Amino acid sequence: MTADAAHGTLLDRYSHALTGLFGPPQRALVSGSGVRVVDEDGREYVDLLAGIAVNSLGHAHPRLVAAVSEQAGRLMHVSNLFTSEPQVGLAEDLLRLSGAPAGSSVFFANSGSEANEAAFKLARRHGGEDPSGLRTRVIALEGAFHGRTMGALALTSKEAYRAPFEPLPGGVERIPGGDLDALQAALAPDAEGRTVAAVLLEPVQGEGGVHGWPAGYLAGVRAATREAGALMILDEVQSGIGRTGSWFAFQDPAVTGGDPVVPDAFTLAKGLGGGVPIGALVSVGSEVSALLRPGQHGTTFGGNPLAAAAARAVLATIEEEALLENVRRVGAALGDGLRAVDSVTEVRQYGLWLGVDLAADAVRPLPDAGPAPAVVRAALEGGWIVNATGPRTLRLAPPLILDEADARDFVAALPTILSAAGQPTENRGASL
């Protein structure tokens, strides 16, 4: 290491060493405990974002730390030429918690994008089974986010993410979400007679600001895809593992509108490992499970004992500490509290997952980028980590262990944060 690298500020060193994809980091964080993290200046923050819906158990949860430490000291990685107890046990846990029927199965990956890549391949294989040779189309929704790898990106809606990397894998079409007529039209054979292999969608769209569907939409997608012989694949990368107050969003009456929905497959990642990278594709039932045959897909790291042991500890802790109940109770309190704040125009809340819309003039004078990014900065100054998914929309996805006192304190702090957001602040980022 050069003397410069040793003595420059972290932000400086970051800008010279890291690929410039993410913009300057807001802070350099050094430790955490529960819902709190501490930065390099010793300032403490309540983390209402959880590394974007990842730190399910908060930071340094003793059970997760113990599970990872114990497994690291025993066996970290074995490749998929071998297996291990944590891997098998985790697959069994996921099948049990999802209520998947006999014959269902799990493929482990390392991220949400990779889980969705596997889902894309599953869709192609389902198409390949059709004797017509014409089941080649995959339907995704406008506003969808499925990841940044080429296949997952082809399924992602945002033009600005996709355009620099075209051509992307083909056969993907986008339709408006929440519109069963548009879906029915898309499921009909196209002019060349091509039919749909799969419809892939999020039960609630997280990146766009936590938008659910009208009651009955998901059940309608289920019925229409079954009728058309297409797979219904749910991307539960952000919504799964307790985020909504149910293990999986497709089990959650608030998400589905009450009609039970069982997809043909679903993907998981973010909250599953509590911070240790892991993703999964769950194939529901023996027919779907049989689509991916030996040798057709693979991964070096996916489902290794370290990541699997972490995920098992996350699931066991959610279960034994009754965290789903906590998510529902604290989430409802947080949602109700935020709805009562002046300048909050709408709150969409599923468990501890909230999209908070601000009035256009919530921050005065109005910053160019809209109120939400200014509120994120002011919240940080006030000791709260939140995130903006649009010019007027905040997203909260706190650890599932958040308690009511911290939730109430944030609601109480928001008016002060809103007024501070309009005031010039010295740029703390510069001193990182």
| Residues making contact with ligand PLP (CB under 6 A) | 111-113, 116, 145-147, 202, 206-207, 235, 237-238, 269-270
281 Cβ contact list (under 8 Å, min separation 6): 106, 107, 109, 115, 118, 119, 122, 265, 266, 267
Pick the closer one to ligand PLP by CB: 118 or 187: 118
Q: How far is the CB of 270 from ligand PLP (least distance, A)?
A: 6
Report the nearest approach of ligand PLP to the CB of residue 236 (Å): 8
Task: Pick between residue 82 and residue 161 the one whose CB is nearest to ligand PLP.
Answer: 161
The nearer residue to ligand PLP, 67 or 115, going by C-beta atoms, is 115
Region of residue 395 (left: phi > 0; alpha: psi -120 to 50; beta: else): beta
Peptide bond into 365 cis (omega under 30): yes
Place of tokens 């290491």: 1
**Residue 237 or residue 281: which is nearer to ligand PLP going by CB?**
237
Nearer to ligand PLP, 47 or 207 (CB): 207
Q: Output the smallest distance, CB 193 to ligand PLP, in A.
A: 31
**Closest to ligand PLP by CB, 54 or 418:** 54
Quote the least distance from Cβ 263 to ligand PLP, whole Å. 14
Q: C-beta of 209: minimal distance to ligand PLP in Å?
A: 12
How far apart CA 340 and CA 306 sit, in angstroms, is: 44
Please tell me the distance from the alpha carbon of residue 414 to that of residue 416, in angstroms, as a whole number. Answer: 5
Residue 147 or residue 245: which is nearer to ligand PLP going by CB? 147
Q: Please tell me whether residue 189 adopts helix, strand or coil conformation.
A: coil
Residue among 84 and 238 whose Cβ is closer to ligand PLP: 238
Nearest residue relative to ligand PLP (C-beta):
112
Q: How far is the CB of 395 from ligand PLP (least distance, A)?
A: 11
Q: Supply the minimum distance, in Å, between the C-beta of residue 54 and ligand PLP.
A: 9
Strands 135-141 and 195-201: parallel
CB 37, min distance to ligand PLP, A: 20
Structure tokens at 274: 């509590």
Query: What is the spatial distance between Cα 255 and Cα 274, in angstroms, rounded to a whole number?
Result: 23
188: amino acid identity, one letter: A
Q: What values do phi and psi take at 59, rounded to 5?
A: -105, 140
Cβ count within 10 A of residue 42: 8
Pairing of strands 393-396, 387-390: antiparallel
| Distant-in-sequence, close-in-space partners of 417: CB < 8 Å, separation ≥ 6 | 375, 378, 379, 382, 384
Give the up-direction half-sphere exposure of residue 275: CA atoms within 13 A in the CB hemisphere. 18
